[in-house]
Amino acid sequence: MSDQNTLPEGKQEFNITVYTENQIGLLNRIAIIFTRRKINIDSLNTSPSEIESIHRFNIVINETEDVVRKLCRQIEKQVEVLKVYYHTNADVIWQEMALYKVPADIIAEKASVERLLRENGARAVVIRKDYIVFETTGHREETDNLISVLQPFGLIEFVRSARIAIIKDSEGFNRKLREFEQMEPGEDVIENEYLNQRDKVFTM
């Protein structure tokens, strides 16, 4: 039926924030929600949150809001997921970090390292005889920019981290968590005779 569906318009980057229990296999459960729908994850970061034992995923995808909302509901359905939020780039403060390894001799010979770093807001992490490793942190354009600057100097290796994002309009998860812990346990979950006979629980 795909031919009948109108082509989705208005795709943009969304930052999905997922608060979860720290459980083996959960990454897989969350990832397959995307792969099943053939949605590419542009960036995925998982880290501890401000609360002990609760993990936080930052996932970036390029999609329409409608699709993102549905995805978030599917993620929130997972047993170990506490809460899912999604935001546009305007609603978050985000950063990515990049490392660049450049041969030391060429850099020393051809460039003013100091100027290079100042102009690109970078810093040197390691300076060795054979190579230098620079680091920048920022948005994609900023980290991309330094690649093109360093390319002529024989950039050996480049790596960029996943995006991490802080939600501008959020009070964190501490209060929300208390709500989760206090939620009344469900009633009537078990219909069976043994439950009225406490001593019978041991059947041996």
| Distance of alpha carbon 57 from alpha carbon 192, whole angstroms | 39
**Nearer to other proteins (CB atom), residue 71 or residue 132:** 71
Task: Compute the residue count for the chain.
Answer: 204
- 180 touches other proteins by CB under 8 A: yes
Which 80-99 positions form the footprint of other proteins (CB under 8 A)? 80-82
Q: Mark residues 52-71: x for contact with other proteins by CB under 8 A, - for none.
A: -----------------xx-
Q: In angstroms, what CA-CA distances link 40 with 32, 86, 171, 173?
A: 11, 16, 30, 27
Interacting residue with other proteins among 9, 10, 28, 40 (CB under 8 A): 28
Of the candidate spans 4-12, 56-64, 113-121, 125-133, the one that interacts with other proteins by CB under 8 A turns out to be: 4-12
Of the candidate spans 1-9, 44-52, 97-105, 106-114, the one that interacts with other proteins by CB under 8 A turns out to be: 1-9
**Nearer to other proteins (CB atom), residue 14 or residue 94:** 14
Of the candidate spans 44-52, 79-87, 109-117, 167-175, the one that interacts with other proteins by CB under 8 A turns out to be: 79-87
Return the structure tokens found at 138: 């920022």
- 50 touches other proteins by CB under 8 A: no
| Distance of alpha carbon 66 from alpha carbon 23, whole angstroms | 29
Name the amino acid, one letter, at 99.
L
- 37 touches other proteins by CB under 8 A: no
Element (H, E) at 15: strand 12-21
Question: ∠180-182-188 over CA atoms, to 5°?
Answer: 100
CB within 8 Å of 169: residues ≥ 6 apart: 91
Task: Give SS3 for 92.
Answer: strand
- 46 touches other proteins by CB under 8 A: no
Helix boundaries (H) for the chain = 26-36, 65-77, 104-110, 113-120, 140-150, 174-182
**Nearer to other proteins (CB atom), residue 81 or residue 102:** 81
Q: By the criterion CB under 8 A, which residues form the site for other proteins?
A: 1, 4-6, 20-21, 24-25, 28-29, 32, 36, 69-70, 73-74, 76-77, 79-82, 180-181, 183-187, 189-195, 198, 201-204
